[in-house]
Amino acid sequence: MTIKRFEELVIWQLGREFSKEIYLLTKEDCWKEDFEFRSQIRNSSGSIPDNIAEGFEREGNNEFVQFLSISKGSCGECRTQLYRAFDRNYITKDKLDDLVRKSETLSVKIHNTMESTLKSYIQGLSLAIF
């Protein structure tokens, strides 16, 4: 199956959903005065789907993998910020565990897409399976 639009990628869809969840979380009152941290976690979560889309639109496997790597890095950055949010009492342990699990799942799926892309000669080949 060939993917023609980045919106069809499961990793982009999951990244978009994760970013939205982080945004809604950071609208809560406890985040209001911590502007820099709130902006940082929003930016790192938004970077996940943004880099997936940008890499896909470059229409080359090497560029796509490079941007997937950046996206995966942003996933890790956001995950460490979730621990910082927990340490600041902005989120509960249950919320931390839920979001860390989602972040880890997304990171694995991005990695699998990178591996699949490196093995394919045509951009988009087999990407929908992850």
Taking only the tens place, the pLDDT of each residue in 89-119 is 999 999 999 999 999 999 999 999 999 998 8
Q: What is the DSSP string of 60-79?
A: -HHHHHHHHHHHHHHHHHHH
Q: What whole-number distance in Å separates Cα of residue 98 and Cα of residue 36? A: 24
Distance between CA atoms of residues 54 and 87, nearest Å: 33
* pLDDT confidence band for 122 (50 / 70 / 90): low
Mean per-residue pLDDT, 57-82: 95
